[in-house]
Chain A
Amino acid sequence: GQNIDQPTEMTATEGAIVQINCTYQTSGFNGLFWYQQHAGEAPTFLSYNVLDGLEEKGRFSSFLSRSKGYSYLLLKELQMKDSASYLCVADTDKLIFGTGTRLQVFP
Chain B
Amino acid sequence: DAMVIQNPRYQVTQFGKPVTLSCSQTLNHNVMYWYQQKSSQAPKLLFHYYDKDFNNEADTPDNFQSRRPNTSFCFLDIRSPGLGDAAMYLCATSGAGGGTYNEQFFGPGTRLTVL
Contact = CB atoms under 8 A, between A and B. Distances in A.
Interface stretch (A11-19, A40-48, A55-63, A66-74): A40-48
Interface string A1-34: 0001000000000000000000000000011010
Interface in A83-107: 87, 91, 93-95, 97-100, 102
B95 to A, nearest CB: 13
A39 B99 CA distance: 30
Contacts, number: 50
A3 to B, nearest CB: 12
B18 interface: no
Interface in B44-67: 45, 48
Interface residues of A, number: 22
A61 to B, nearest CB: 18
B40 interface: yes
A41 B99 contact: no
A42 B107 contact: yes
A80 interface: no
A87 B100 CA distance: 19
Nearest to B48: A94
